[in-house]
Amino acid sequence: MSARKLHLNLFVYPGGHHEAAWRYHGTDPSRILDIGFYQDLARRAEQATLDAVFFADGPSLADNVRYASRFRLEPFTWLSAIAAATERIGLIATASTTYTEPYNLARLFASLDHLSRGRAGWNIVTTGAPQAAGNFGLDAHPVHAERYDRAREFVEVVTQLWDSWEDEALVVDQKSGLFADTDRIHEINHTGRHLKVRGPLNLPRSPQGRPVYVQAGSSQDGRSFAAAHAEAVFTAHQTLRSGQEFYADLKARATALGRNPDQVLVLPGISPFIGSTEAEARALHEEFNDLTQPEYSLQLLHRLLGLRLSADELDGPVDRRLIETGGERGNGSRFQLVLDIIDREQPTVRQLLHRLAGARGHRVVTGTPEQVADQIQEWFEQGAADGFNIMPPWLPGGFDLFADQVVPILQARGLFRTTYDGTTLREHYGLPRPTAVPTSTKEYA
């Protein structure tokens, strides 16, 4: 049996993941709408044999774009262009189960999987931004539990659509004149609480059978959903202990549902500041934090915790008593993560803002390439991660440092591949190609 290997994705964010990345002298903000920039990044990640590039998305404009590059690039358009410029690296796009329809989404992902010859992955989100509701004719954003209830049904419908063509349905026999075996193409006739879809899909089953199912969210609802459906889970943790707890809990939940826990990959986010010495790395991190703008950071804190603070309060303590832990916001995993930072570290407001500036609650590490590799190895070997979403503080330089200096260390230690063994994202992740599931006529109450 081959030794277990790390999985690494490049999480692409316009400019980089630090909120002040666009202001850093090593960033060229004039290129954040240039597809050539992202194609170059993806080719660089492919040279480093990373598993995938990942694009986040959201169906509304962030309320703090005044101070940072917070717009969203539509991922299917962008990843289609990246697919044409690469050969092996996986292509993961975020799409919402709250603000899309399953038939349209199934077509988009199946098309991307065909276009890329089997490299597509779907990051399944329910959308946490309440301002999205007004863009889709809704008076209010559905509550957390309702969004997850729809998401469960949505994923089952999309799965049925992707399986509505059996593998043998596409015949293309020029001699007999038979193009498709219609006995192997099935309507799904789904009627549920949230959705009603007839099917079948209007294109054949894709190279991977189904794109890889990825999920982001660590709330109790998110964990239950991931255990049932996800094949890779994007998550955020600040401490090894927190990562281990999540990892063990998710694997146990998947096992209890009859799934192979090795086929549910846990991939926390990590944002590395790398220097030739630890002091150099810390100085680089401080240089970025010095570029932050309090107006932006305070808006982020309000969105995460509901706290409205002013610049005059930056050097005072975070008053835990002012944070309302109930209600809809309290259901979010990122809310609890920030509370844990406050309780554990007792930061000033400014210190908390700097903690969040690096990667919006994901773990920021500073150090030499060896120290960054050590931390990745520790989490991988101590039951906290199957790999990581790499979130460079700035682009392209932050990723270049990781690819040039950290990846070779992980490879030399036998932790990460030096060449691709397969061509699809499922093969990179060590996941089987699923067989088509018989069409369900299950009715949802």
Average of pLDDT values for 26-39? 94
For residue 323, what are its two tokens?
């944070």
Residue-level pLDDT at 141: 94
The most confident of 12-26, 65-79, 296-310, by mean pLDDT: 12-26
pLDDT, tens digit (0-9, with 9 covering 90-100), for 344-374: 888 898 888 888 887 778 899 999 999 999 9
In percent, the amount of the chain with pLDDT more than 70 equals: 96
Q: How are beta strands 196-197 and 190-191 bridged, if at all?
A: antiparallel
Domains and their CATH numbers in the chain:
7-274+362-429 (3.20.20.30)
pLDDT band at 331 (very low <50, low <70, confident <90, very high): low
Q: What are phi and psi of 191, to 5 degrees?
A: -130, 120
For residue 366, what are its two tokens?
């500073």
What's the DSSP call for residue 433?
A: P
Average of pLDDT values for 420-443? 85
Of 351 and 90, the one with more pLDDT: 90
Residue 16 in this model has a pLDDT that exceeds 50: yes
Residue 444 in this model has a pLDDT that exceeds 90: no
Residue-level pLDDT at 64: 75
Residue-level pLDDT at 38: 97
Average of pLDDT values for 244-268? 97
From CA 298, how far away is CA 75, in angstroms rounded? 28
Question: pTM higher than 0.75 for the full model?
Answer: yes
pLDDT band at 2 (very low <50, low <70, confident <90, very high): low
Closest-CA residue to 34 (of 60, 9, 15, 11) = 15
Residue-level pLDDT at 341: 86
Q: Count CB atoms within 10 A of the CB of residue 299.
A: 18
Residue-level pLDDT at 328: 66
From CA 300, how far away is CA 277, in angstroms rounded? 31
From CA 74, how far away is CA 19, in angstroms rounded? 20
CB contact set of 88 (below 8 Å; sequence gap of 6+) = 46, 49, 119, 420, 423, 428
Across the chain, mean pLDDT equals 92
Residue-level pLDDT at 1: 41
CB 227 within 8 A of CB 253: yes
Residue-level pLDDT at 445: 44
pLDDT band at 330 (very low <50, low <70, confident <90, very high): low
pLDDT, tens digit (0-9, with 9 covering 90-100), for 267-324: 999 999 999 999 999 999 999 999 998 888 888 888 778 888 888 888 888 888 888 8
Residue 197 in this model has a pLDDT that exceeds 70: yes
The most confident of 18-22, 107-111, 218-222, by mean pLDDT: 107-111
